Chains A and B, each alone.
Chain A
Amino acid sequence: MANAVYGVILNFRAELALLGDQLYRDPYKKPPVAPVLYLRPQNTWNTSGSAIRMPTGANALKMAGTLGVVIGSGYVVVNDVSIPHASYYRPAIRQRCRDGFCVIGSQVAEREPREIRTFINGDLRCVASTADLVRPIDRLTADINEFLTLQPGDILLIGEPPDSPLATAGDRVRVEMDGVAPIENEVVAE
């Protein structure tokens, strides 16, 4: 079991490009300098095959199929679920910290995969490449370790692909990468 699971926002170059001039305006005022982290607390940890519960009041959930770097051991596939939110100003606790919103693959790959693929009801909807990161994995972990030492067994999610698809109740979501079993979950209404 992991000690802590961290994610980072704005680590895909296309995400920053989409924000464009907004990065220089209120409330942000300037582009981020250090990695911007969030934590996936234990209540969010989920496994392949279990339901992803869509909270009452949400119409759809964002399915960020991404790579989890397991510090000291390898790579896992992760579906980092959130309620879509446009503002990055305040920590998105209500949008991210729902029970079961972080599906973590059980198999660890030894080699860094090139891409992570996200399917909704069997249709390929997103291909995320580790070549498109603002901070590649080594630089990301080094920059984080400047202030927060990642511990062996901690998992670091490398970012949310900018074209992460939405899913709603009844949809089946599969996230896969080479070398490990995929994770697959159904979204159900709470």
Chain B
Amino acid sequence: MKTARVAYAGAIHYATEQNGCVRLTDGRVLGEDAVVWLPPVQTGTIFALGLNYADHARELAFKAPDEPLVFLKGPQSLCGHLGKTTRPRDVTYMHYECELAVVIGKTARRVTKADAYNYVAGYTVANDYAIRDYLENYYRPNFRVKSRDFATPLGPWLVDAGDVADPMNLQLRTLVNGTVTQEGNTRDMIFDIPALIAYLSEFMTLAPGDIILTGTPEGLADVKVGDEVIAEIEGIGSLKNTLIGETEDHTHVG
């Protein structure tokens, strides 16, 4: 099953997918553009991985890490499907990162790799935008690069874990204004999903709603104000975001 959280007619609803449309729990069926998409889960701790695809690590001239390069993001960093993300006026290089997001379904502490999938509620798509101009070598990648307001689109759907036969063999791709700019497959992760859950839960307790953004393959490119960026993962979803400028009015009046 695919579930979403949307705002419609002044209220927040849980919704399911029905033939590409959004079905509210009261039975109303709406088009994708008729609702405001929220992140599909109310997230707890948001983990993200750096350099978790060998090709991407090479692209950034890094050797693959010996242990997962984990960083955290604040809750205000998220936005939903069809959301808008700001590109600051002064930057020269802002890139998307299409990532498989793993949502934890139950409390996890010292979970083995063999048991790890039992702790996954489902999967969604993340676009983990980064602004390289702001990279500094302190707690890198620093929050100014990776935890900016509304700069991590998430969604549209949470896909039940039981509906994803092999999460370690899914095609990922990013399209900028309709042109494919990034392609990869989750099988090329350096630390796979069970390894990440085992690694994190060895030293801390994971809770339902915690989410792990598992890193991105090669194919980064600068994106500009006005660009439409679609991050999509086979069987999981197609997550659209539009870049806006700093002073642009977010409303649609007149």
Contacts and interface: CB of A to CB of B under 8 A. Distances in A.
Specify whether A and B are partners: yes
Interface of A: 3-4, 6, 9-10, 27-30, 32-39, 41-44, 55, 88-94, 97-99, 147-149, 151
Q: 6 closest A-B pairs (Cβ-Cβ)?
A: A41-B45, A37-B143, A39-B72, A36-B138, A91-B71, A91-B139
Contacts of A35: 144
B35 interface: no
Interface in B28-77: 44-45, 69-77
Contacts of A93: 70-72
Contacts of B76: 4, 148-149, 151
A93 B44 CA distance: 16
Interface of B: 44-45, 69-77, 134, 136-144, 147-149, 203-207
A27 B138 CA distance: 9
Given A91-B72, A93-B72, 13 more contacts: A4-B74, A10-B138, A29-B137, A34-B136, A38-B72, A41-B72, A43-B205, A44-B204, A89-B139, A90-B69, A91-B141, A97-B72, A147-B149
A43 B141 CA distance: 22
A6 B72 CA distance: 11
A29 B137 CA distance: 7
Most buried by B among A55, A90, A94: A90
21 contacts: A3-B75, A4-B75, A9-B139, A30-B137, A33-B136, A34-B144, A38-B139, A41-B45, A42-B45, A42-B207, A43-B45, A43-B205, A90-B69, A91-B71, A91-B139, A98-B203, A99-B204, A147-B143, A148-B143, A148-B147, A149-B76
B76 to A, nearest CB: 6
Given A91-B72, A93-B71, A36 B204 contact: no
A98 B206 CA distance: 11
A94 B203 contact: yes
Contacts of B207: 42-43
Contacts of A151: 76
A99 B144 contact: no
Contacts of A39: 45, 72-74, 143, 147
B203 to A, nearest CB: 6
Contacts of B148: 147-148
Given A38-B139, A90-B140, A93-B71, A148 B204 contact: no
Q: Which of A10, A29, A147, A148 has the most chain B CB atoms inside 10 A of its CB?
A: A147
Nearest to A143: B144
Nearest to A99: B205
- Which of B74, B140, B147 is most buried by chain A, counting CB atoms within 10 A of its CB? B74
Contacts of A147: 134, 143-144, 147-149
A36 B45 contact: no
Find the residue from A9, A36, A88, A99 having the highest chain B CB count within 10 A. A36
A32 B71 CA distance: 18
A98 B205 CA distance: 8
A27 B139 contact: no
Given A41-B72, A43-B207, A91-B70, A149 B140 contact: no
A55 B203 contact: yes
A77 to B, nearest CB: 22
B72 A149 contact: no
Contacts of B136: 32-34, 36
